[in-house]
Amino acid sequence: MTDVLILAEGPLGRLRLNRPKALHALNTDMCEAMLAALDAWATDPAIEAILIDHAEGRGLCAGGDIRMLAESGATDGVAARAFFHVEYRLNHRLFSYAKTTVAFMDGITMGGGVGLSLPCDFRIATENTKFAMPETGIGLFPDVGGGWYLSRLPGRTGQYLALTGHRLDGAECLALGLATHYVPSATLDEAKRRIAAAPQDIAAILDDLAVPAPDARILAQREVIDRLFASDALEDIYAALAGDGGEWAAQQLATLRTKSPQTMKVSLRLLHEGRQMATFEDEMRQEYAVGAHVVQRHDFLEGVRAVIVDKDNAPRWSADGPEGVSDHVIDQIFAPLPDAEAWTPH
């Protein structure tokens, strides 16, 4: 079975993720195949738009091939860097693609699935959407452009999502601008048929099929999120949560205490610098350097062991809390790679 179905259907180029048993998690071959298809379709006058979805199963994409990344990171890291390199090229190609792109964020859309969806012109959420960047729970960070997208969300919601890995539903994705349309899942096949018949009318088609979304629960928490997650220093966020006295703040602090202090600090710096990046290419170059370093560090290997391999959910992080992670360690992780090893878009 092919892990990604690459189809030209009339005027549409279709990328259909097809690894249902792995929740369509991306591997290197899948990214290479999609990148090659996008490059071919870019100059094919018969292809007017690109649709990204999944063939079957419970979601668009649960992320990347984490087990492979950890196995590689435990040795020389070569295979892990190769995966990040092609995945980030795919993310960048979608971000800069000249033809209209549409992603169907139906079901689980996390990690690598976010990287495929957010660069697209149209991003369709449904009542099944479960959107998250949960990487800090395995000693990783919100990559695939997370430093760019999350830093541009309203207030401090991006920092909150990056640190806690909180899952958003479809209505919340629409309210935050992560999705452009909220469409019932039962209507998606009709949407795809109508788009195939008139790819120049995608906006009007989606506007017609969209329905009012339920209330976005996260909007009711905007004030408290902006206040308690205001700082770019993790120590300050811990102190704000601990001093709040409210039940919600206590829950968030308990959540943060399960995550890697090291990669939470990485995430805060990534978003702080990502908001100031001039181009998405600059962002991906930075994230590649950070990823190349993080994937060979203890916290990632330990996080994957605890959550994915042994499933004891009891990771022993390199530090017990924020104060155990020095600025020097974070500076090492953010050190640029030599030019010969750095990420490039082509």
Are the C-beta atoms of residues 17 and 117 closer than 8 Å to each other? no
Structural domain total, the chain: 1
Tell me, yes or no, whether 137 lies in a domain: yes
Tell me, yes or no, whether 317 lies in a domain: yes
Tell me, yes or no, whether 89 lies in a domain: yes
Tell me, yes or no, whether 34 lies in a domain: yes
Q: Half-sphere exposure (CA, 13 Å, Cβ side) for 67?
A: 7
Task: Provide the pLDDT for residue 110.
Answer: 97
Are the C-beta atoms of residues 169 and 130 closer than 8 Å to each other? yes
Are the C-beta atoms of residues 195 and 202 closer than 8 Å to each other? yes
> What's 233's domain CATH number?
3.90.226.10
Helix or strand (DSSP H, E) at 34: helix 28-42
Tell me, yes or no, whether 177 lies in a domain: yes
Tell me, yes or no, whether 193 lies in a domain: yes
Task: Provide the pLDDT for residue 57.
Answer: 82
Helices in 43-133 by DSSP H: which ranges?
A: 66-73, 78-95, 112-117
Tell me, yes or no, whether 346 lies in a domain: no
- Is this structure's pTM higher than 0.95? yes
Task: Provide the pLDDT for residue 300.
Answer: 96
Just list the catalytic residues. Answer: 64, 112, 135, 143
Give a three-class secondary structure readout of 237-293.
Answer: HHHHHHHHCCHHHHHHHHHHCCCCHHHHHHHHHHHHHHCCCCCHHHHHHHHHHHHHH
Question: 3-class DSSP state for residue 1?
Answer: coil
Question: In terms of residue numbers, what domain contains 224?
Answer: 4-341
Task: Provide the pLDDT for residue 56.
Answer: 86
Task: Provide the pLDDT for residue 124.
Answer: 98
pLDDT tens series, the chain, 346 aa: 699 999 999 999 999 999 999 999 999 999 999 999 999 999 999 999 999 999 988 899 999 999 999 999 999 999 999 999 999 999 999 999 999 999 999 999 999 999 999 999 999 999 999 999 999 999 999 999 999 999 999 999 999 999 999 999 999 999 999 999 999 999 999 999 999 999 999 999 999 999 999 999 999 999 999 999 999 999 999 999 999 999 999 999 999 999 999 999 999 999 999 999 999 999 999 999 999 999 999 999 999 999 999 999 999 999 999 999 999 999 999 999 999 999 999 9
Tell me, yes or no, whether 124 lies in a domain: yes
d(CA 145, CA 281): 9
